[in-house]
Amino acid sequence: MNFESFGLHPSVAAGVAAEGYVTPTPIQLKAIPMVLQGVDLMGLAQTGTGKTAAFALPILHRLMQGPRGRLRALIVAPTRELAEQIHQAIESLGRATRLRSVTLYGGVGLNPQVQKLKRGVEIAVACPGRLLDLIGQGHVDLSRLEVLVLDEADQMFDMGFLPDIRRIVKCTPRERQTMLFSATMPAEIRHLAQEVLRAPQTVQAGDSVPAETVSHAVYPVAPHLKTALLLELLQHTDTDSVLVFTRTKHRAKRLGEQLAKSGYRAASLQGNLSQGRRQAAMGGFRDGTYQILVATDIAARGIDVSQISHVINYDVPSTPEAYIHRIGRTGRAARRGDAFTFATEEDRDMLRAIDRVLGTPVERRTLAGFNYRAQAPARDQEFARPPRQAGSYAGAERARGGGGPGTYARRGADKARATGRKRFQSASRPAARPQTGPA
Ligand code: AMP
């Protein structure tokens, strides 16, 4: 099966060819024909499955017919980064269509967005808050919207956007095509789907579990040794691009600085950065200027850097779903990836929950030669504090029937051997320094 079989408008097909897509991904195969028919869609898919093109291509195809200069398609996304990414995908895929897309999100000036809207656009990719502001000020009119996409709905729920989403939906016509994408399906998202979708078709990619192309390992470690372990691991691991997750903005910033000081091309991405610095960090990570990006969950949401070879959970995520989202950043587009999780004593329950989500216990590893008995240097006291446990998690785990015994299988190691990736070889330290990220 190839893209020709969808019968996309030649200008849209030209975009597919320009992007170098040859074979549709599973979600594209299932979703594109349905969306082209105009039905509502519920997509159970995480980033990395090709879901953006699954909705963008049929939207571009549809908009080739009908009026220009009027807002006809709206994609709502939780974060600015994701909105930018979707917008860029639409721009690349739709280059030959002359359709116009605008991003609408906060943290940047209102005026450029208003000017673009005034010049006329057919597509908007928006975050909820700024979109509502623009609607309130009369700059955005959704009354003739034809297609509405709610992307990463579970994340929008986590971020408290559901009331905003409902307000936005109320501004759109009842006669519209609606698509809702979510990596997980908590009850709140099911309710939202019932409200906004009409007789939806459901497509699922990845079964809400991480891609098979990712192998997982847990490194038990004392809290104060995490940074030392990370440095040691990086030194002995063959990595391309590494995305490191921390629990807080402060930890992301600090760890980014520590890595840069140690000679790595590292930057951090967290909510306290200005939009310009966020884009510099993202852009630098994408083009390889930075080999390591340290980020919080929210800042990293939807990051699409196809060559991410390693996701390292410096702090365990607060829910098993967050684990899936984090490691969804690697092993994309059928490349292999590794997900390493640093775990302290206090993280035991969360590890069990992750085992359950993965359907198999994660391999537990120790790094040969690493001094696990070292004392915490005084200046590292902040990092020595054990991570806070998310209160919500214990309940979630109980709801799942509790964790099993924490045995750790060898699956990850077997997989790793199968990939042929060179691990823990002699030091392959990244070259250049010094490079202070925009953090
Ligand atoms: P997404 O899940 O939409 O974030 O897409 C993940 C990555 O896969 C992006 O870098 C896309 O450019 C890429 N991609 C999407 N569809 C295809 C395809 N059919 N063939 C190859 N790469 C694709």
User: Which pLDDT value is given to residue 282?
Assistant: 86
User: Which pLDDT value is given to residue 63?
Assistant: 98
User: Which pLDDT value is given to residue 327?
Assistant: 79
Q: Which residue, judged by its Cα, is nearest atom 15 of ligand 1?
A: 50
User: Which pLDDT value is given to residue 378?
Assistant: 52
The continuous run of DSSP H or E covering 281 comes out as: helix 275-286
Question: Could you report the average pLDDT of every consecutive run of 10 residues in the chain (439 residues)?
Answer: 93 95 90 96 85 97 97 96 94 97 96 97 98 98 98 89 97 97 85 95 68 80 96 87 93 96 93 82 89 85 72 90 76 68 93 80 90 70 40 28 26 31 31 35
Q: What is the rounded CA–CA span in Å between residue 365 and residue 350?
A: 17
Q: What is the rounded CA–CA span in Å between residue 326 and residue 252?
A: 15
Does the beta carbon of 304 sit less than 6 angstroms from any atom of ligand 1?
A: yes
User: Which pLDDT value is given to residue 270?
Assistant: 81
Q: How far is the CA of 53 from the centre of ligand 1 (A)?
A: 7
Q: Which residue, judged by its Cα, is nearest atom 16 of ligand 1?
A: 50
Q: What is the rounded CA–CA span in Å between residue 298 and residue 303?
A: 10
Does the beta carbon of 84 sit less than 6 angstroms from any atom of ligand 1?
A: no
- Domains detected in the chain: 3-205 (3.40.50.300), 214-364 (3.40.50.300)
The continuous run of DSSP H or E covering 343 comes out as: strand 337-343
